[in-house]
Amino acid sequence: MTETAPLWTPKSQDIEAAPITAFARQASTAAGRELGDYDALHAWSVEDREAFWNLVWDFCEVKGEKGARVLEDADRMPGARFFPDAKLNFAENLLSRRGSHDALVFRGEDKVARRMSWDELHALVSQLQQLFRAHGVGEGDRVAAMMPNMPETIAAMLATASIGAIWSSCSPDFGEQGVLDRFGQIEPKLFITIDGYHYNGKALDVSDKVAAVIAKLPSATRAFIVDYLGNAKTAAAKIDRAEALSDAISGFEPKEVEFARLPFAHPLYILFSSGTTGIPKCIVHSAGGTLLQHVKEHRLHAGMGEGDRFFYFTTCGWMMWNWLVSGLASGATLLLYDGSPFYPDGNAIFDFAQAEKMSFFGTSAKFIDAVKKAGLQPKQTHDLSSVRTIASTGSPLAPESFRFVYESIKEDVHLASISGGTDIVSCFVLGIPTKPVWIGEIQGPGLGMAVDVWDDDGRTITGEKGELVCTSPFPAMPIMFWNDPDGAKYKAAYFERFDNVWCHGDFAEWTPHGGIVIHGRSDATLNPGGVRIGTAEIYNQVEQLPEIVEAICIGQTWDDDVRVVLFVRLAEGVALDEGLEKKIRTQIRTGASPRHVPARIVAVNDIPRTKSGKITELAVRDIVHGRAVKNKEALANPEALELFRDLPALRA
């Protein structure tokens, strides 16, 4: 990094007003010494985990019975137990507010606009709770949903959690087999879905897909169809064991929601791995661990509080939906958007931000890059004065995109690049509102997270690339994988590389500022001549070029070594000629290093991606090497894989 000044530095009055500052004062008292800056606070949070997590519970006003013990088997990973005597209910913590002010604001592209107050949310959760109980749903039962990011989805999740049942969701753009690959493993008692959804201005009916899924999901005794396109009753009439949700709840009068207080480690969510290398893994997260980790991240790292307007662009098939929903526990109003973020044009989300006075603007690195490539200048066209934080995740945020945010979206804003994953339904490294933002860097590790970067021998390295690890247990670790009775799959996923240490599978690097750069997934790193190269380093360079819309990079086995192959999707009217190839190679050579320069550059019309928008390097690598891709249903555009099969350019 050659930058000599940060892109943004928090004002002293904002540091003083930040919840993390008040927390640090209480932490100093608990520690018996002054924790004068974030680094000192973080060091204490991992040294004295019992005192830290105990303080998080109190500071974030978690509702429940805490119990006497904070941490048992503190050095076992997996196996540590947080708050083993506690009793709480996740939904109770999210539904602690009442009143006629907004709990949820929903936009379904430009087709649907709705608001739901806290009182209305309570009423709907009550009706759904009664309905679920009437259909025999109890503690530990699964409720599965193929739903858009809309109010009914959140209410159904809260009703499920209030009973102590387990919630699992995906988005309605999943294919039939993709839905069955996930929900077929967990055997839900109820299935909740919609009649259709809006995307890119089109109404897409899903009733035939729902009928096919229900036919192969015998555990689901009932399917409830939410009305989105106005066809729920018609759709339900054609589907076995189905009923329009509006009809199903009509016989239940709203009353006070009952909350089953259960152990801290009681299961809350089942999330799924991307499934691009086989059938998706079913990752089970606890109510207490998810709640405690999310309120810590929202209150302390995002500075969220009562009345904030919290937005994250996400579908219900991505863990950021679960992260977004927990914002209710901090008293935030959730701003929900379903559909294409570029319909009717690239201003849709910025229009929403301005209209609803968004305070936390969450999106993906790909969205920011797309806005940049579209030539938009939101700073000039929109009033974003309410936006305090812009968060980015999904893939590493390129340095040029950091610069674009400050130059073209908002100058005085906390840009928080964050990274964690489905595996922990939260973050390892994320924004810190009291520290400067440096170009290309995630600000630092989360409180309570003993994050490090190790070499192959398990030694800490700084200024070099290595494996992102977490050396101590934390509450948001999964409690298990579903259908993994001896825990073998769970242990193999995270603890095979280093004993008793979580190895996350990210290729990372500490910076001189105490920040972190993620260079891509470890399993997608390139090894030309035995030197490990992160794919993000190449993307950061090539995607700066206006001729390139997007790129994907793999290592191809060649001549007893690995050669770097770069595939590029070109802007309209651009051809990959000798001049452009030279320009690409020069950009990579000067911006990264000669070792990063690809041996082959190939133009393609599309790049395969998962449902949550992440490009799939492993699937492309398999196709190039003639291997079968095990689970194409996990991809949003599986047809794109054929563009990479048996290419003449890769035969020599």
Please give the pLDDT value at position 112.
Answer: 94
How far apart are the C-alpha atoms of 364 and 349, rounded to whole Å?
A: 12
Rg, C-alpha atoms of the chain: 24
How far apart are the C-alpha atoms of 410 and 388, rounded to whole Å?
A: 10
Mean pLDDT of the residues in the chain: 94
The pLDDT tens digits of the residues spanning 418-462 come to 999 999 999 999 999 999 999 999 999 999 999 999 999 999 999
Reported CATH class of domain 102-260: alpha beta
Evaluate whether the domain defined by 12-89+264-519 bears CATH number 3.40.50.12780.
Answer: yes
Please give the pLDDT value at position 559.
Answer: 80
How far apart are the C-alpha atoms of 501 and 507, rounded to whole Å?
A: 16
Strand pairing category for 309-312 and 333-338: parallel
Please give the pLDDT value at position 1.
Answer: 43
Q: Kindly tell me if the per-residue pLDDT of 33 is higher than 70.
A: yes
Q: Which two tokens stand for residue 277?
A: 């290398």
The pLDDT tens digits of the residues spanning 340-353 come to 999 999 999 999 99
The amino acid that residue 593 corresponds to is S
Q: Which two tokens stand for residue 55?
A: 């303080």
Q: Kindly tell me if the per-residue pLDDT of 268 is higher than 90.
A: yes
Q: Kindly tell me if the per-residue pLDDT of 277 is higher than 70.
A: no
Per-residue pLDDT band for 584 (boundaries 50, 70, 90) equals very high
- Of residues 275 and 76, more confidence is placed in 76
The pLDDT tens digits of the residues spanning 365-393 come to 989 999 999 999 999 999 999 999 999 99
Among the residue ranges 39-53, 128-142, 171-185, 186-200, the one predicted with the least confidence is: 171-185
Phi and psi of 44, rounded to 5°?
Answer: -65, -40
Please give the pLDDT value at position 449.
Answer: 98
For residue 524, give every residue at least 6 positions away whose Cβ sits within 8 Å of its Cβ, in sequence order, or none: 535, 554, 617, 618, 621
* Long-range contacts of 116-122, Cβ-Cβ distance < 8 Å, separation of 24 or more: 116/151, 121/95, 121/151, 121/154, 121/155, 121/158, 122/95, 122/98, 122/254, 122/257
* Residue whose structure tokens are 């690598």: 621
The amino acid that residue 297 corresponds to is E
- Of residues 534 and 513, more confidence is placed in 513
Task: Look at the alpha carbons of 451, 365, 643, 650 in this order and tell me if their dihedral is positive or negative.
Answer: negative
**What integer is the mean pLDDT of 46-56?**
98
Fold match, 102-260 / 525-650: no
The pLDDT tens digits of the residues spanning 284-328 come to 999 999 999 999 999 999 999 999 999 999 999 999 999 999 999
- Full-model pTM: 0.90
Structural domain spans, the chain: 12-89+264-519, 102-260, 525-650
The pLDDT tens digits of the residues spanning 586-644 come to 999 888 888 889 999 999 999 998 877 888 898 899 899 998 887 787 788 999 999 99
For residue 223, give every residue at least 6 positions away whose Cβ sits within 8 Å of its Cβ, in sequence order, or none: 190, 191, 192, 193, 210, 214, 236, 239, 241, 242, 243
Per-residue pLDDT band for 536 (boundaries 50, 70, 90) equals confident
- The superfamily (CATH) of domain 525-650 is ANL, C-terminal domain (3.30.300.30)
Strand partners, 417: 392
Q: Which two tokens stand for residue 364?
A: 């993906």
**What integer is the mean pLDDT of 387-413?**
95
Percent of the chain with pLDDT over 70: 99
Q: Is 207 exposed, middle or buried (0-12, 13-18, 19+ CB in 10 A)?
A: buried
Please give the pLDDT value at position 2.
Answer: 54
Return the H-helix or E-strand segment holding 343.
none
How far apart are the C-alpha atoms of 588 and 594, rounded to whole Å?
A: 7
